Amino acid sequence: MLFPQPVKCDIGKGKIKVPSTITVGGAAQKSVEMVFKRKALMGDSDSFIRCSYDSSVKGGFEGYAMDINPKGFISIRSSSDTGITHALRTVSQLLKSFPKELPILKIEDWPAFPERGVMLDISRDRVPTMNTLFQLVDKIAELKGNHLELYIEHTFAYKGHETVWRDASPITSEEMIMLDRYCSERGVSLCANQNVLGHFERWLKHPQYAALGEMDRGHFYSMYWYIEPNTLCATDMKARKFVKELLAELMPLCSGDYVNIGCDEPWDLGKGRSKAEVEKRGRNAVYGEHVADVAEFVVKNGKRPSFWVDPDFGNKRSEIPPLPPELIGNVWGYDGNTDFKNRLKSLGEAGLDAWVYPGANGWNSFTSRTNNRRKNLELAATEGSANSAKGFVITEWGDCGHNQQWPVSLFGMMDGVAVAWSGKSYTDPEAEANHVFNEPALGKWLYKLGEADDCVVTGNSNCTFDVFRKPFLNPSFPGKLEDWEKCCANFKALLKNIPAKDPLIARECRFAAELALWNAERAFLNKKTGASTPHDILHKLTLRLLDLMAEHKDLWMERSRPGGLSDSCNQTYMQRIRMQYD
């Protein structure tokens, strides 16, 4: 019925009739228009919805109390316009479920975390259209979220740096201003996000930026993982000056109070130009000096900085170098067994505020990872609340070509926004799909889609995505023959009935299941016949993949910009097409 669920909801006996014209009295006109659009009118003290200000209501300025009473009207109390807006959003959801008669009930509600929202990766190939971003903002606001970040490495049109973003279809300054205004009108803060240390490979591959890097050549980060130069030199003052110039251009366009400076996974740090300093002073000290310098620059510009606290950093108080007190630690992790607690505790001991950043779990996937996401959200909420985290931001990344379809991503992100409000994980896929897609039955379908290949367990990806990146004769295909047979059956069952009336959503969901099925069938052949599989069968699979890639391209253009599409295809589809027999 309601998503997110309120803190307290007592349902009484009886119902009241919903009038043909909804009137609202005592609320700000902005709140009424924001929630009901043109479906409600401003009224007086005798309105159907009667709002009043009351400082005694629990939950601070965002808390509210609501009473649908037998007298035939709805009363709302809150200490602020923000709280009244949240209450009106709850009424709007109730009217959607009960358009003619509302149940008698009383609600007391307030958020578990002050800052609640989404961080969407727009740098791993897929840059959404403005309409897609507007839709995301609307859904965040409707579920009582108040925060949005767009993760940027190279996909903002920085002046004078066209070489880097020319083919990426970046967000322009004008578009960022437009998005910020759209967010502000709906009670959502757009906060700047620019990585300023690691994940800089899209810049460092160009000669004019290569000298700012830690290394001048690629290297093996582990025995099996070769990476190109990706980290700025943390001891190079020119590199720091450069990232500050980027932030100086981006920060004024986003009116939110916070700036995420990234600094996660600096894989090259200490292996090249800063090696001597790291050996002399320690990796954390060199890293911390770079973070602190950039953070202080953000503070001087009137914003509050935050940075990613990696799983191998900050698990003990002694690991955290001196950092500005204004800096916020973003404790991230995307598995059901992520250790949020130790990093949250260490940051608190260091006198730093912390937020939790769990994952929507759509990346490295076609179908998402339902069970892993639910466990991850529950853990982040529980340990975040226990350690006084001030924010809860759900992340959706785009690793390896950003292959997940929008309904898969949006469903996972809104799952997280709801948990950020309620502070607890609960399962009500029908309510979520009703309020996110206007398609109640789609919720259970998406849940099952994200569970369909759980019979084969892999790491930070679904098994159907994991095998997509492996040559056919690779001996490391996970799972057993019977596991893949079950996967195939699961996807075939889902494809028989996709409960979506919206043609685009139905098409996206069908494509996600079909692509996952293609990989499951390929893995089944790997286990069943392996090297003896006839080439004509493998060729038929490849021809089918050509059709799937064409659909991938068509669907991409429905919600995303063209930049990055070619790279997405090259990372996945084209590898399998070019090497169909190996």
The number of helix segments (H) and strand segments (E) in the chain equals 21, 17
For 161, the 3-state DSSP assignment is coil
> 475: which 2 tokens?
């001996």
Q: How far apart are CA 38 and CA 140, in angstroms?
A: 20
For the ranges 65-79, 351-365, 423-437, the lowest mean pLDDT is seen at 423-437
Tokens, residue 284: 């954390």
Predicted confidence at residue 299, as pLDDT, reads 98
Of 352, 418, 350, 343, nearest to 383 by C-alpha is 343
pLDDT at 477 over 90: no
Q: Is the pLDDT of residue 579 over 90?
A: no
As beta bridge partners, residue 171 has 156
Q: Does the pLDDT of residue 205 top 90, yes or no? A: yes
Closest CA to 7 of 460, 511, 423: 423
Residue pair 197/232 in contact by the 8 Å Cβ criterion: yes
- 223 confidence band (pLDDT: 50, 70, 90): confident
What average pLDDT does the chain have?
96
Kind plus residue range of the DSSP H or E element containing 247: helix 237-250
pLDDT at 212 over 80: yes
Give percent of the chain above pLDDT 70: 100
- Residue-wise pLDDT for 365-419, tens only, equals 999 999 999 999 999 999 999 999 999 999 999 999 999 999 999 999 999 999 9
pLDDT of residue 222: 85
CB 147 within 8 A of CB 542: no
Query: What tens digit of pLDDT does each residue of 414-429 get?
Result: 999 999 999 988 789 9
Q: What is the pLDDT of residue 392?
A: 98
Per-position DSSP letters for 292-359, written without gaps between them:
HHHHHHHHHTT-EEEEEE-TTSSSSGGGPPP--TT-EEEEE--STT---HHHHHHHHHTT-EEEEE-B
Q: Is the pLDDT of residue 313 over 90?
A: no
Is the predicted pLDDT of residue 459 greater than 90, yes or no?
no
Q: Determine what percent of the chain is predicted with pLDDT higher than 90.
A: 91
- Residue 317 has what pLDDT? 86
Mean pLDDT, to the nearest integer, of 455-479?
88
Residue 139 contacts residue 436 (beta carbons within 8 Å): yes
Query: Is the whole-model pTM more than 0.85?
Result: yes
Decide if pLDDT at 279 tops 90: yes
Cβ neighbours around 163 below 10 Å, total: 12
Residue 144: band (very low, low, confident or very high) from pLDDT cuts 50, 70, 90: very high
Tens of pLDDT along 530-559? 989 999 999 999 999 999 999 999 999 999
Taking residues 62-79, report their average pLDDT.
Answer: 97
> Looking at residues 217-237, what average pLDDT do you find?
93
Separation CA 580–CA 66 (nearest Å): 61
| C-alpha triplet 430, 463, 265: angle, nearest 5° | 95
Residue 26 DSSP code: S
| Element housing 218 (H / E) | none
Instruction: Read off the pLDDT band of 243 (50, 70, 90).
Output: very high
What the block records as the tokens of 556 is 């991409």
Residue 174: Cβ-neighbour burial (10 angstroms; 0-12, 13-18, 19+): exposed
Q: Which residues pair with 8 in a beta bridge?
A: 108
Domains plus CATH for the chain?
A: 8-109 (3.30.379.10), 118-195+234-263+275-438 (3.20.20.80), 452-578 (no CATH)
Helix, strand, coil shares of the chain as percentages rounded to 5? 45, 15, 40
Question: Regarding predicted confidence, which is higher, 473 or 207?
Answer: 207
pLDDT, one tens digit per residue, over 508-525 is: 999 999 999 999 999 999
Kind plus residue range of the DSSP H or E element containing 479: none
Q: Cβ(47)–Cβ(65) under 8 Å?
A: no
Identify whether the C-beta of residue 296 lies closer than 8 Å to the C-beta of residue 326.
no
| Segment 75-130, tens digit of pLDDT | 999 999 999 999 999 999 999 999 999 999 999 999 999 999 999 999 999 999 99
Buried b (16+ CB within 10 A) or exposed e, 381-392: bbbbeebebebb
Task: State the number of CA atoms in the 13 A half-sphere of 208 facing the CB.
Answer: 6
